[in-house]
Structure 1
Amino acid sequence: MSGVFQEIRGSADDLDSWRVLITGELPSFQRVENPAGGEFHGTLHRQILDRISAHLIDVRTARHVLHRTPEHIRFTPEPLYVVNFQIAGTSTFTQAGSSAPLQPGDFAVSSSLVPFDWEFDGDFTVFMLRFPQTFIDAPAQSFLPLLGRSVGAADGFSAHLSPFVASVARDPDLLRGPVGRRVAQNLVDLFTTSFLDFLERTRGDRAAGTPVFQRVTAYIAEHLREPELGAASIAAANFISTRTLQAAFQDHGTTVSAWIRERRLAGVRREIGDPMLADRPIGELAERWGFPDQAHFSRVFRQAFGESPKQWRARASRDESGARERDLSWLLEIEPSTGWL
């Protein structure tokens, strides 16, 4: 993506135009169908804030269906979570063999790695938040029980979260300006809290013991900024051997050091690009995230993101100050990495 903030608005009065609008130049994120035919009108408002995107969709039609298939998954560059929040109308979201009926204020979390079906009967409005799975400091396996489940507007923490999400969806100004990325990141954090709250309340008869990988990744998330964090200290704090620790990460296709590095880099990148921290030296922010060696930090940052920390800060500042709303004619020139519904 070439910019930190991008905003797209558009509307369509037929299904073919709607597909062009929501897809851009990318292979489609899902197949869109209108089985009942008849009149159709859809509006899209998409805001892209670095690697987080927010989508407000309003559709007026008799029936609307989205299908995500293995073919769509093959063309997705990185694993994503998508929060599907129902604002108006009703729908049924199905993933991983479970179906979630959604009423206004309810939401379902989905993984881009698993096919889904999302069916709407009648007019509807939804808000979707999409972000990389690495933004959550928990293994993807821990969220598998959530797929295809409805988190109700009155369920636990969600009773407090749903009104806030609805207000953000209806007020796009909250995602603009210097605080926009903070609001987007706060939404990710709040949804994560709601996921964990839901899993805890619905754990039921699942095994009381927490798997090693889930336990140690939760520990890493709590101690991520500590410079001495490493395999030895993590193993000792969790009363396991380093061999057991390393094996747990190998089973998930990664290593302890890679897991820590990816999340530290994501954290420091957010802070370097945050306009409210523009007066803080890059070296200071890097050290806070466990990168005391500036040469090493610059090297791994460039390897991960394709530009230096200084270049990223300059681009973030430039794009933030130049952020403006795009019209539909600009949409036709959208870059491939930003063209998903």
Structure 2
Amino acid sequence: MPAVQNLQQKPARMSIVTFDQWCEAIDTSFLPLAYTRQTRGCFHSNVSYARFGACAVADMDVDAHRVAREPRHAAASDAGFFKIFWQISGQSRVAQRGNEASLEPGMWSIYDTAQPYSIEMADRCRVLVLLVPQERAFGWRQAAASLGGRALRGEGAARIALSALGAMLHDTCSGHLLDYQGQTVLQDSVVSLMETALQGADTRPPALGDGADAAVARHLGEARMHRLAEFIDAQLHDPELSAQRLAAVLNVSRRTLYNLFRESGQTPHAYILSRRLRQAAVRLSGSADAGRSITEIAFALGFADAAHFSRVFHERFGMSPSQWRQQNAGGARIALHH
């Protein structure tokens, strides 16, 4: 691994249209990785990148692909880094040290670049990635060893750090650079905030939406899980979507359906709600629904009461729908315009 001062120094906004360009950009801006994708042809990505102090941060909007830090990469390293990976929109799957988790909007994970890891990103995935030298984040070591590759909730200190990084990245790429003192203060503040977040991380088994698809799939089977998810997504507009209808799709009794979900720690109702909230987060973040009110989006996704929607959205993502839209739609605060 190259020393951090060998990484790209200047802030940049990049629009990438080939997979080879993407691989080169990440190898240059961050660290060497192995890259794979299931499709050929154009690869679209928009990236905003900046350095502050000894750290690097990037906002990435990318097509589906997989990256892996392999043993050969770690063996060639002469320095260690921690990476924080925030999921802004879309979905990703992270794995390290035997842990594996699905990330949905509002979640984050940490991994140690001195150890092998992998990240699979779904199509039109948007993430913010922070790279910190381990020597600057000594207080992260113990938590990173146990939490690497796990899904963590983007609340409290982690959300504050994300907002600060998004604002800095926007200003820096717009030509308003922090001076040395400002970069040092930001670096120390972000490291302290994330140390607090790691120390207070909820390590209980993830609730629905925090890797819920994987948990349910282990008990329903991948084929039935895919069929179930497709059906639910097509019927999200229907407030009457129920467990009975899901049972009919799977050709099982209602009792059998509940038993299958219970074995995974979920309920059919909670799973439907998770799919609705996930889609709400995507629509509030995108331009296609920018002209629609929050209430209209809620009703279109089967929520019969706007107040109920706001309450469960806040419980799931740690902020109100209007705050989510402000911080994600168009890239305000948390992320950039792409």
Deviations 1:79-138 (Å, cap 9, x if unpaired)?
111111112211111111111211122110110111111001110111111111122243
Structure 1 position 147 matched with structure 2 position 151: no
Partner of 1:42: 45
Structure 1 position 97 matched with structure 2 position 98: yes
Q: Which runs of 5+ in 1 are unaligned?
A: 205-341
Q: Which runs of 5+ in 2 are unaligned?
A: 206-338
Bigger RCO (CA 8 Å, 6+ sep): 1
CA pair 23-184 structure 1, distance change in 2 beyond 3 A: same
Partner of 2:69: 68
Cα distance between partner residues in 2 of 1:98 and 1:2: 31
Partner of 1:192: 195
Cα distance between partner residues in 2 of 1:47 and 1:19: 18
C-alpha contact 2:96 2:148 (8 A) present in aligned 1: yes
C-alpha contact 1:87 1:126 (8 A) present in aligned 2: yes
Partner of 1:118: 119
Cα distance between partner residues in 1 of 2:7 and 2:151: 34
Structure 1 position 7 matched with structure 2 position 17: no
TM-score (norm 1): 0.51
Deviations 1:141-188 (Å, cap 9, x if unpaired)?
44311111111124x644555554554555546982222332233112
**Superposition map of 1:86-235 within 5 A:** 86-138=87-139, 140-154=141-155, 157-158=157-158, 161-172=161-172, 176-178=177-179, 179-198=182-201, 201-202=202-203
| 1:22 CA drift (Å) | 2.4
Instruction: Report the count of equivalent residues.
Output: 198
Runs of 4+ that moved beyond 4 A = 2-5, 159-171
Cα distance between partner residues in 1 of 2:137 and 2:29: 28
Cα distance between partner residues in 2 of 1:71 and 1:37: 26
Structure 2 SS opposite 1:43: strand
| 1:65 CA drift (Å) | 0.6
Structure 1 SS opposite 2:10: strand
Partner of 2:304: none
Task: Give aligned-pair identity as a percent.
Answer: 21
C-alpha contact 1:54 1:130 (8 A) present in aligned 2: yes
| 1:11 CA drift (Å) | 2.6
C-alpha contact 2:47 2:59 (8 A) present in aligned 1: yes
| 1:29 CA drift (Å) | 1.9
Partner of 1:17: 21
CA pair 25-158 structure 1, distance change in 2 beyond 3 A: closer
Cα distance between partner residues in 1 of 2:170 and 2:108: 16
Partner of 2:297: none
